[in-house]
Amino acid sequence: MVLDIEKMSLEEKLQAMEELWEDLRAHYEKKTPPRWHRKILEDRERLLEEGEEEWLDWRAVRRELVGR
């Protein structure tokens, strides 16, 4: 399957991304992340704890992007 991303609307792109994440979660949930990925997650967690970043729920971000 090939998606013509340039012709997709923002809503179509977000829907495709949601479906990809759901498939990845369902099939690869038990895989161990690579070390570099763990480092990024640890850095982000530290920034959250220090108040330099904030947690945004995906649904809230999606609503902001597509106005729903």
pLDDT tens digit sequence for 37-53? 989 999 999 999 999 99
CA 59 to chain centre: 11
Q: How sure is the predictor about 61, in pLDDT bands with cuts at 50, 70 and 90? A: confident
Residue 10's nearest CA partner among 46, 52, 57, 64 is 64
Q: How sure is the predictor about 68, in pLDDT bands with cuts at 50, 70 and 90? A: low
